[in-house]
A and B are shown apart, each in its own frame.
Chain A
Amino acid sequence: MSDSKQTVIVVDDNTTVRKLFERSTETLAIDLITFNSAKASMGYLSKNKPDLLFLDIIMPDKDGLTFLQELRKLPLHRDTPVIMITSKDYAQDRTVANELGALEFITKPMPMRAITDIILKYINKDNPY
Chain B
Amino acid sequence: MAKSYLRFWGVRGSYASPFPTHLKVGGNTSCVEISVDDHTVICDAGTGIIPLGNKLAAENKNKDLLIVLTHYHWDHICGLPFFVPAFIPDWKINFFGPGESIQEIKQNLDSQMQAPYFPVGTETWMAKVNYIEPRETKISHGPIDITYYGVHHPGITYGYKIKAGNKTIIYVSDNECQFLDKSIKQKMTEFSEEEQQMFEAMNREEYEYELQSIQGADVLIHDAQYTPKDYETKRGWGHSCYVDVVNYAIDAKVKELYLYHHDPYNDDDAIDNIYEKSQEIIQERNASLKCFIAREGMEIDLD
Contacts and interface: CB of A to CB of B under 8 A. Distances in A.
Interface of A: 13-17, 19-20, 23, 57-61, 63, 65-66, 69-70, 87-93, 96, 107-109, 111-112
B176 A109 contact: no
A74 to B, nearest CB: 13
A109 B187 CA distance: 8
Interface string B156-186: 1000000000000000000010011001100
Chain B interface size, under 10 / 10 to 19 / 20 to 34 / 35 or more: 20 to 34
Interface of B: 98-100, 134, 137, 149-156, 176, 179-180, 183-184, 187, 190-192, 194-195, 198-199, 201-202, 205-206, 209, 236, 238
B205 A87 contact: no
A109 B202 contact: yes
Nearest to A58: B150
Nearest to B150: A58
B272 to A, nearest CB: 31
Contact of A66 (B151, B156, B195): B156
A90 B202 contact: no
Contacts of A93: 154-155
A111 B180 contact: no
Contacts of B134: 66
Nearest to B175: A88
Given A16-B198, A59-B150, A111-B195, A89 B100 contact: no
Given A14-B202, A14-B206, A90 B195 contact: no
Contacts of A61: 137
Given A90-B153, A111-B195, 15 more contacts: A15-B205, A58-B152, A59-B150, A60-B149, A66-B98, A69-B100, A87-B179, A88-B154, A88-B179, A90-B238, A93-B155, A109-B180, A109-B195, A111-B190, A111-B191
B156 A63 contact: yes
Contacts of A89: 183, 236
Contacts of A20: 198, 202
18 contacts: A13-B209, A14-B202, A15-B205, A16-B198, A16-B199, A58-B151, A60-B149, A65-B156, A66-B134, A87-B206, A88-B176, A88-B238, A90-B154, A93-B154, A108-B202, A109-B183, A109-B199, A111-B190
B150 A63 contact: yes
A90 B202 CA distance: 20
A90 B183 contact: no
A66 B100 contact: yes
A23 B183 CA distance: 21
A109 B100 contact: no
Nearest to B179: A87
A16 B202 contact: yes
B202 A17 contact: yes
Contacts of B179: 87-88
B184 A109 contact: yes
A86 to B, nearest CB: 9
Contacts of A91: 154
B154 A92 contact: yes
B178 to A, nearest CB: 10
A107 B236 CA distance: 12
A4 to B, nearest CB: 30
A14 B183 contact: no
Contacts of B153: 88, 90
A8 B181 CA distance: 27
Nearest to A107: B183
Contacts of B187: 109
Contacts of A13: 209
B224 to A, nearest CB: 18
B257 to A, nearest CB: 22
Contacts of B180: 87, 108-109
Contacts of A65: 156
Contacts of A96: 155
